[in-house]
């Protein structure tokens, strides 16, 4: 199974930001680190990195890579500084997208379990969200051929969430590389 991992947003439009970084810059660091570590788990050819530097995503380029799953990494943002938690988004009509979003939700939960305990992880669980026309992320989820998930592991706009994530960033990328490497060895189902 081939997985395409990509940072959300673009060089020119970097998405959400806080005092220290932007969504795009941080997502690119995380994705690059995950890809380089996946070498350790012997799956570098199956976990690919795609970054878009232009204003618009090159859906044609993305689809030409023939991935079996596309994960676009984002960090959430809200005007309330109390917003927190993790969620994974999928196209409302995609059964596989829904399943992958649910699996990734479980993965992020296991990360928070390790760093904040079970009740901490459960308290942050915002669940998976289906995305229909006009909703956040729809264009991306609708134009990609392969099942796709928009991953939002924390709120960049919430200082306590940002610092907790940054403190555990090496651990997160390590866990994520391992998780993806295991996924690549899974069979691709045709259902």
Task: Indicate the residue among 15 and 85 with the shorter CB distance to Zn ion.
Answer: 15
User: Taking CB under 5 A as the rule, does residue 15 contact Zn ion?
Assistant: yes
User: Taking CB under 5 A as the rule, does residue 7 contact Zn ion?
Assistant: no
CB of 59 to Zn ion, least distance (A): 17
- Could you say which of 3, 4, 6, 74 contacts Zn ion (CB under 5 A)? 74
Number of chain positions touching Zn ion (CB under 5 A): 4
Report the C-alpha dihedral over residues 21, 23, 26, 28, rounded to 10 degrees. -140
Q: Are 163 and 26 in contact (CB under 8 A)?
A: no
Site string for Zn ion, 34-63 (x = CB under 5 A): ------------------------------
Structure tokens at 21: 């970084």
Q: What is the DSSP string of 121-145?
A: HHHTEEEEEEE-TTSTTHHHHHH-S
Stretch that binds Zn ion, among 9-17, 56-64, 93-101, 106-114 (CB under 5 A): 9-17
Q: Provide the H-helix boundaries in 20-151.
A: 23-38, 59-64, 95-123, 138-143
Stretch that binds Zn ion, among 19-27, 40-48, 114-122, 157-165 (CB under 5 A): 19-27
Nearest Cα neighbor of 72 from 168, 138, 123, 122 is: 138
Query: Could you list the residues that contact Zn ion (CB under 5 A)?
Result: 8, 15, 23, 74
């Amino acid at each position: 199974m081939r997985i395409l991992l990509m940072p959300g947003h673009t060089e020119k439009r970097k998405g959400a930001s806080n005092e220290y970084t932007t969504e795009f810059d941080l997502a690119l660091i995380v994705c690059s680190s995950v890809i380089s570590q996946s070498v350790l788990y012997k799956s570098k050819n199956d976990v690919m990195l795609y970054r878009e530097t232009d204003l618009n995503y090159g859906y044609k380029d993305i689809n030409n890579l023939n991935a079996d799953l596309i994960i676009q990494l984002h960090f959430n943002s809200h005007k309330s500084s109390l917003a927190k938690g993790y969620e994974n988004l999928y196209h409302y009509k995609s059964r596989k997208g829904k399943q992958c979003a649910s699996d990734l939700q479980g993965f992020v939960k296991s990360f928070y379990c390790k760093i904040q305990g079970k009740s901490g992880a459960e308290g942050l669980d915002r669940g998976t969200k289906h995305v229909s026309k006009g909703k956040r992320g729809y264009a991306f989820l609708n134009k990609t051929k392969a099942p796709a998930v928009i991953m939002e592991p924390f709120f960049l706009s919430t200082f306590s969430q940002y610092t907790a994530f940054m403190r555990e960033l090496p651990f997160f990328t390590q866990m994520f590389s391992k998780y993806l490497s295991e996924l690549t060895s899974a069979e691709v189902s045709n259902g």
